[in-house]
């Protein structure tokens, strides 16, 4: 098949016949050309060219240039394709209009011909819906038929997507006085969901409350139908969903929603405690995260790093703590006071409390290669011992005490903002120590650039409790 035929075949997708596509492309290549020129170049009989040119002219793809002989000039390909796409759009709109008319006519005739049946006992139904369009269509239909309330329990990201995807349907439901009730976890920006809702729905028409845990995800419609998904991520439209109108199951879901509703906190009065903010921030850390923590006191350092270590241990991960500002014994005692069973975790190999001379500065010198090799070896040992990950943290004061700030910066840069080893690492810096180095602003800037996330830990100004903030 020639190059001309290949391209002509592609143009048929835009609505041209094979002859129309070949004649048009030949006219493009020739510039100003007669029917005879096009016939020879395209290897198409002249009679066929004469029949094809008027159709192309009517479509606006070529222009007739008067003279003897009459010649034609083709429009640029980009312009021609845009015109063909618009023609397809017009055709599609006409077809949709015709289909809607036929649908209306068919339904009228179908209803007239339908023979009324005796009311039958309605059985409960369970339907698994896996196709995106089918899920979207079902939810649209359920919102459209809701009369009293739509109850949503889902993650904050998915709630936002739900609002945006079904905005028009939710607005129509609001006009029917249907109440939207939403339970979700509070996003980092606490005002994001209410502000999005208020753009489309008056605050009197929705209820938004924040919960701590969401063991399941579902949408209830009038307490009689439910859409349920067990997938961990993705919106309802992106997940396999179970639709049901089974009274027993829907009743259980409704009871669960009401129970969560009673314990949830209204968005207008919601306020995270410092410990809740800390837990939330640390929960967001994942493998390969390289984090810098700047703290203003030993208490802030301990609360933050011990919480971080505790989360990892509870998830079946190994944890390593490198001491330099405080002794290993002091850290072990402080961990026990915090609530960590140090001896138990050390006995099973889950927890390791090490001195900085074991991994960072050995015999007064520091080697990036040796330190990186040590982390890789410790990670491999953790995997071999059956742990599903590893969290590490190090007090970095030893580099400042040994006047190794330049080596420290090179080391942090070598780790990269995203770690090569699939562990999670928090590098802990005392704010007072950082302030005493030569050119502290420059040093701090370099350290921040070397990390993927920046955290600050210190006392809350109002409650006096340790809090953590993301930079």
Domain ranges of the chain: 1-116, 126-266, 275-470
* pTM listed for this prediction: 0.50
Whether residue 52 contacts residue 35, with contact meaning beta carbons closer than 8 Å, is answered with: no
Tokens of 32: 């100003």
| Alpha-carbon gap, residue 346 to 329, rounded angstroms | 13
| 193 burial type by CB count under 10 A (0-12 exposed, 13-18 middle, 19+ buried) | buried
The strand ranges marked E within 137-283 are 149-153, 179-184, 206-210, 217-221, 225-229, 241-244, 265-266
Task: Give me the CATH topology for the region 126-266.
Answer: Endonuclease; Chain A (3.30.870)
Q: Which CATH architecture has domain 1-116?
A: Orthogonal Bundle (1.10)
For the chain, 471 residues long, the average pLDDT of each consecutive 10-residue run is 82 91 92 90 90 89 82 90 90 90 84 58 75 88 95 89 90 92 81 81 81 85 91 71 92 93 83 64 85 91 92 95 96 96 96 96 92 94 95 95 94 85 94 92 92 80 48 50
CB atoms within 10 A of CB 11: 20
In three-state secondary structure terms, 147 is coil
At 461 the pLDDT is: 46
Give how far the C-alpha of residue 229 lies from the chain's centroid of Cα atoms, to the nearest Å.
Answer: 17
At 40 the pLDDT is: 92
At 182 the pLDDT is: 92
Q: Are domains 1-116 and 275-470 of this chain identical in fold?
A: no
At 392 the pLDDT is: 96
At 144 the pLDDT is: 95
The Cβ-side half-sphere exposure at 202, using a 13 Å CA radius, reads 9
Q: Name the residue with tokens 């006409």.
A: 94
Strand 241-244 and strand 318-323: the pairing is unpaired
Look up the CATH superfamily of 275-470: P-loop containing nucleotide triphosphate hydrolases (3.40.50.300)
Please name the residues in contact with 337: beta carbons below 8 A apart, sequence gap of 6 or more. none
Which helix (H) or strand (E) segment holds residue 257: the answer is: helix 247-263
């Amino acid at each position: 098949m020639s190059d001309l035929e290949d391209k002509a075949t592609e143009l048929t997708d835009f609505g041209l016949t094979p002859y129309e596509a070949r004649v048009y492309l030949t006219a493009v290549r020739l510039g100003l050309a007669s029917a005879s020129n096009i016939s020879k170049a395209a290897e198409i009989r002249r009679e066929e060219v004469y029949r094809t040119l008027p159709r192309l002219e009517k479509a606006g793809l070529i222009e007739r240039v008067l003279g003897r002989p009459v010649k034609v000039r083709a429009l640029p390909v980009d312009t021609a394709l845009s015109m063909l796409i618009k023609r397809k759009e017009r055709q599609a709109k006409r077809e949709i209009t015709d289909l809607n008319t036929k649908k209306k006519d068919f339904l009228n005739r179908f209803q007239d011909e339908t023979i009324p049946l005796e009311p039958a006992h309605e059985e409960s139904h369970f339907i698994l819906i896996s196709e995106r369009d089918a899920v979207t269509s079902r939810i649209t239909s359920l919102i459209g038929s809701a009369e009293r309330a739509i109850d949503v329990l889902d993650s904050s990201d998915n709630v936002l997507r739900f609002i945006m995807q079904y905005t028009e349907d939710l607005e129509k439901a609001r006009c029917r006085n249907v109440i939207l009730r939403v339970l979700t976890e509070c996003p980092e920006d606490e005002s994001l969901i209410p502000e999005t809702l208020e753009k489309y729905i008056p605050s009197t028409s929705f209820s938004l409350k924040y919960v701590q845990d969401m063991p399941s995800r579902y949408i209830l419609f009038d307490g009689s139908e439910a859409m349920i998904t067990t997938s961990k991520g993705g919106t309802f439209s992106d997940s396999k969903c179970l639709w049901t109108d089974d009274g027993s199951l829907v009743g259980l879901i409704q009871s669960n929603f009401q129970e969560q509703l009673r314990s949830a906190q209204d968005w207008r009065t919601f306020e995270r405690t410092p410990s809740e903010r800390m837990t939330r921030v640390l929960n967001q850390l994942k493998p390969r995260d390289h984090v810098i923590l700047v703290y203003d006191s030993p208490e802030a350092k301990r609360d933050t790093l011990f919480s971080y270590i505790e989360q990892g241990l509870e998830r079946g991960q190994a944890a390593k703590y490198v001491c330099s500002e405080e002794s290993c014994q002091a850290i072990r005692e402080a961990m026990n006071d915090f609530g960590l069973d140090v001896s138990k975790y050390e006995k099973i190999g889950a927890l390791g409390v090490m001195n900085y001379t074991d991994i960072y500065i050995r015999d007064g010198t520091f080697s990036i290669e040796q330190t990186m090799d040590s982390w890789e070896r410790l990670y491999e040992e953790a995997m071999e011992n059956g742990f599903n990950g590893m969290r590490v943290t190090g007090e970095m004061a030893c580099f400042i005490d040994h006047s190794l700030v330049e080596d420290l910066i090179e080391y942090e840069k070598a780790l990269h903002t995203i770690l090569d080893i699939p562990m999670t690492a928090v590098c802990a810096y005392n704010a007072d120590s950082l302030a005493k180095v030569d050119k502290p602003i420059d040093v701090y800037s370099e350290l921040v650039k070397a990390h993927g996330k920046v955290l600050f830990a210190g006392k809350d100004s109002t409650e006096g409790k340790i809090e953590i903030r993301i930079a």
